[in-house]
């Protein structure tokens, strides 16, 4: 936690007076001045959200930061030395990275969506690159909506936050980007705020990705024979259902199911990407459909219920520290899937090193209200609908 302007002198009496406005104080513990200055324990006499707002304002005026904690059945109000003063952002970095990502996505979309042999002259290459504009509008529209969902939710709750940082990655990434992220410059106030900020991104991106994908599927080339050696995009439950709604069949459709029942054959392919249906028919995605599929993929990855990911926030606010118990199971599944798509090894490593901690709200007494509990549960259900076990094969 970034604390500045640490106070000088003893303000214990003033802090006690402020805490006493919202709780019946039963005992007081003086700290060492570094970890905390003073802790008051007792029972809050009003709603915790209102109580935190009152105490936080008074503590801040004295030069302290307020923590609300639960110690068994006892409420604790803790004063930390110093106040949170987020440093100013260098917004030119955000604009530069967005511009580079726009160019990166344009190049990738133009090259991957171009039909025919690539040109050998500069003018031809300009035409090829500019032809990627439908992919740019679709892909960056989804990603930007996702990140602005986080951003405006944070601003609504008055939590300091950066503008989105976009990550350009031309040609190496199938989307021309590694996505984007925002950075909170101060801890969230409570679990409700943490959930709102975390879930706003994937929900906003999902709302845009689904119609983009449906339009892309409807305007893609009709189902036709599979080209040998081609790449297959992975399948989530929702993606399978949308393809079925548009084309009236499970895709890709192999020429033969061998000795397996068709449903078992397709289930194995959807979960593990094997066997590759190198004969049969499939839909060939245009730029818009490819961006829509990528939008679902991004939503699923962000909703993995672990650590600092959006899904990790949803699980944490529901079950608290118990969420860490799920990490070994998630890592085992990802490592197992990594033998079928190597990208999961990277995700397993990220979650192992970065996903074992959670954003700690300042007020941990305030619990989720019923509507937010339902929203958090919805996020985890959405994860099951859009996660793609084998993204590419």
For the segment 137-159, what is each residue's pLDDT rounded down to a tens digit? 999 999 999 999 999 999 999 99
Cβ atoms of 289 and 216 within 8 Å: the answer is yes
What is the per-residue pLDDT for 99?
96
Cβ atoms of 22 and 44 within 8 Å: the answer is yes
306's enclosing H/E stretch is none
Copy the structure tokens of residue 148.
Answer: 């602005």
What is the per-residue pLDDT for 250?
87
Residue 309 CA from chain centroid, whole number: 5
What is the per-residue pLDDT for 321?
77
Residues 6+ apart with CB under 8 A from 216: 138, 285, 286, 287, 288, 289, 290, 291, 292, 293
Span(s) in the chain for CATH 3.30.1360: 3-84
- 263: region left, alpha or beta (phi > 0 left; psi from -120 to 50 alpha): alpha
CA angle 185, 148, 376 (to 5 degrees): 85
DSSP helix/strand/coil, 70: strand
Q: Is the sign of the CA dihedral 266, 272, 274, 279 positive or negative?
A: positive
Global pTM value: 0.90
Sheet holding 253-254, edge to edge: 221-225, 280-284, 253-254
Confidence at 277, pLDDT banded by 50, 70, 90:
confident
Confidence at 163, pLDDT banded by 50, 70, 90:
very high
Share above pLDDT 90 across residues of the chain, in percent, rounded to a whole number: 61
Q: Can you tell me the distance from the alpha carbon of 240 to that of 237, in angstroms, rounded to the nearest whole number?
A: 5
Confidence at 5, pLDDT banded by 50, 70, 90:
low
How much is the average pLDDT of 288-296?
96
What is the per-residue pLDDT for 11?
82
Nearest to 146 by CA among 89, 95, 197: 197
Q: Can you tell me the distance from the alpha carbon of 103 to that of 168, in angstroms, rounded to the nearest whole number?
A: 8
How much is the average pLDDT of 81-88?
88
How much is the average pLDDT of 372-380?
93
How much is the average pLDDT of 170-192?
89
Confidence at 9, pLDDT banded by 50, 70, 90:
low
Q: How is domain 3-84 classified at the architecture level of CATH?
A: 2-Layer Sandwich (3.30)
What is the per-residue pLDDT for 33?
67
Confidence at 255, pLDDT banded by 50, 70, 90:
confident
What is the per-residue pLDDT for 262?
82
Confidence at 236, pLDDT banded by 50, 70, 90:
very high
* Mean pLDDT of all residues belonging to the chain: 89
Confidence at 222, pLDDT banded by 50, 70, 90:
confident
């Amino acid at each position: 936690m970034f604390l500045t302007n640490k106070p000088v002198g003893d303000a214990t009496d003033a802090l006690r007076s402020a805490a006493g406005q919202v709780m019946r104080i039963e005992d007081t513990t003086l700290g060492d001045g570094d970890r905390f200055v003073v802790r008051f324990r007792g029972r809050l006499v009003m709603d915790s959200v209102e109580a935190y707002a009152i105490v936080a304002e008074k503590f801040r005026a004295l030069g302290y930061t307020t923590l609300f904690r639960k110690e068994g059945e006892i409420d604790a109000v803790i004063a930390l030395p110093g106040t949170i003063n987020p440093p100013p952002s260098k917004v030119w970095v955000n604009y530069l990275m967005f511009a580079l990502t726009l160019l990166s996505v344009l190049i990738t979309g133009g090259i991957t969506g171009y039909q025919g042999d690539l040109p050998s002259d500069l003018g031809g290459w300009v035409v090829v690159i500019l032809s990627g504009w439908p992919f740019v509008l679709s892909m960056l529209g989804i990603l930007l909506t996702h990140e602005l969902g986080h951003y405006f939710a944070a601003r609504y709750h008055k939590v300091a936050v950066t503008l989105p940082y976009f990550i350009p990655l031309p040609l190496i990434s199938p989307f021309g980007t590694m996505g984007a992220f925002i950075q909170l410059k101060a801890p969230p106030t409570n679990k409700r705020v943490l959930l709102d900020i975390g879930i706003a991104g994937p929900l906003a991106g999902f709302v845009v990705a689904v119609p983009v994908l449906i339009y892309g599927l409807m305007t893609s080339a009709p189902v036709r024979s599979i080209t040998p050696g081609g790449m297959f995009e992975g399948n989530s439950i929702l993606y399978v259902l949308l393809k079925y709604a548009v084309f009236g069949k499970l895709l890709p459709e192999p020429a033969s199911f061998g000795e397996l029942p068709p449903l078992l054959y397709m289930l194995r392919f959807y979960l593990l990407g094997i066997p590759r249906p190198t004969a049969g028919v499939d839909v060939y995605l245009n730029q818009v459909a490819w961006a829509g599929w990528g939008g679902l993929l991004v939503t699923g990855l962000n909703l993995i219920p672990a650590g600092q990911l959006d899904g990790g926030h949803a699980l944490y606010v529901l079950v608290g520290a118990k969420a860490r118990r799920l990490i070994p199971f998630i890592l085992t599944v990802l490592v197992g899937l990594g033998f079928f798509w190597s990208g999961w090894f990277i995700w397993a490593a990220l979650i192992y090193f970065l996903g074992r901690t959670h954003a700690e709200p300042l007020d941990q007494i305030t619990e989720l209200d019923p509507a937010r509990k339902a929203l958090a549960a919805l996020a985890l259900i959405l994860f099951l609908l859009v996660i793609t076990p084998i993204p590419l094969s």
